[in-house]
Structure 1
Amino acid sequence: MMKRVMCLFLIASLPFLVLLPSQVFSEGAYETTGAGPAVDTALGSELIIADFDTGDKPNNIGGDFGTWDKDPNDETQVSQMSFEAEDALGDELGYSIRLDYDVDSPNPAYNGFWMKLQNFDASAYNTVNFYVRGDETNGFTKRLKIELKDSTNQPSPFIITGLTDEWQKFSIPFEKFRRVKFWDALNEFVLVFDDINSNPKTGTIYLDQVTFSSE
């Protein structure tokens, strides 16, 4: 099993994460786990929020998901979602989410992916995990903004970097989402493409295996 290192930096008051291959995150070991609605691991419990393996909505906890655009009437910026017959964990019957984005616009541009968490009580967990990879043919951003929202609906951002065209597991401690006040009422998980962080400004990424875990 490949292990990674994640180093934290602070730029313009917004934290982001760097993934380096073949090393271990200094704040703790984050291990890949198998599929299932609830998995006990050596490091604690892991709850699958969305594995997308039905190839349809909703997610594993009953929440809807899809793409959003800053201005749906502006055809110069758009994001589109589809199901891809490819699973991050190698399940031949599994699916992942394909996200095609375009923020190459003369206007301020941002869009992305949203997923409802149903006011989920995540107080028993302390980490959000997910798998991401880029599309080598279409190109992809190496930086990606992640947001969690609680019942106040205020976005709490964290930027990851180091995306490649191979599946990687990212594990972000809840404490990095500093604006979340109510961990017992999580409302939404969001990915954001924007004309500042996304380079190139058009491309494709894949998302799979969104989980909460206790490390």
Structure 2
Amino acid sequence: MSKYFIIPAAITLITFAGSSITLAQEETGNRYEARRVASENGQQNPTVPQALVMKLRKANDASIELAKMVQDKTDHADIRQLTQTIARDHQILNRELEKLTSDARWADDQGKSRVVAGQSPQRVPEELCKIADQACSNALKMTKEMFAQYSGQDLDMAFLGHQIVAHTMLLSELQAIRDVGPGSLQPFSEQAIDKVQKHLKRARQLAKRFEDEQDQGKDSQS
């Protein structure tokens, strides 16, 4: 087993801290957007669909930022192509989320969710939002610091290891949204699943190729 595949184990802990506390708490503009959404709806905290959108936006932003960081540092053509694809696709997904939340049907759905069986809709607790938001910011910061320490093949393998872990977790979340989440997000989740699966497949292919090449190099030296 290549030493580079020790990296995803550490990243799993980092990413899990940011993503698994809850599906509903991450957002592009840190806490500002959560407050803005809450203010627009006359409520202190976002509804579950709103919080899921915030989470997905921040996940996309993290993917874009890390891909662009590695794109500027890698010397490998295949890695550069993957970073370009990831950055482009997650930018597209963020634009699709913007279209979704700007649609009148989305506003209607959120309005209808305010009263269910005479009760207030479920909302994400403010303290949990803050904890998860901070955890996610910490995860991105630590990952960037780790990438900054590598160059060459070490950087390429660290990036691939991270993408395998991060996209596996994002894929599982998108599938859960599709299967049991709000109906308003299911069409988006289908589109996002397709892109994330392609990223994951390509990252796995490149990681396997790099590891095979490394093993062949060891065999030729022995």
TM range (shorter): under 0.3
Tell me which structure has the larger Cα radius of gyration. Answer: 2
State the TM-score, normalizing by the size of structure 1: 0.27
State the TM-score, normalizing by the size of structure 2: 0.26
Using CA pairs under 8 Å that are at least 6 residues apart, name the structure with larger relative contact order, 1 or 2. 2
Q: Which has the higher strand share?
A: 1
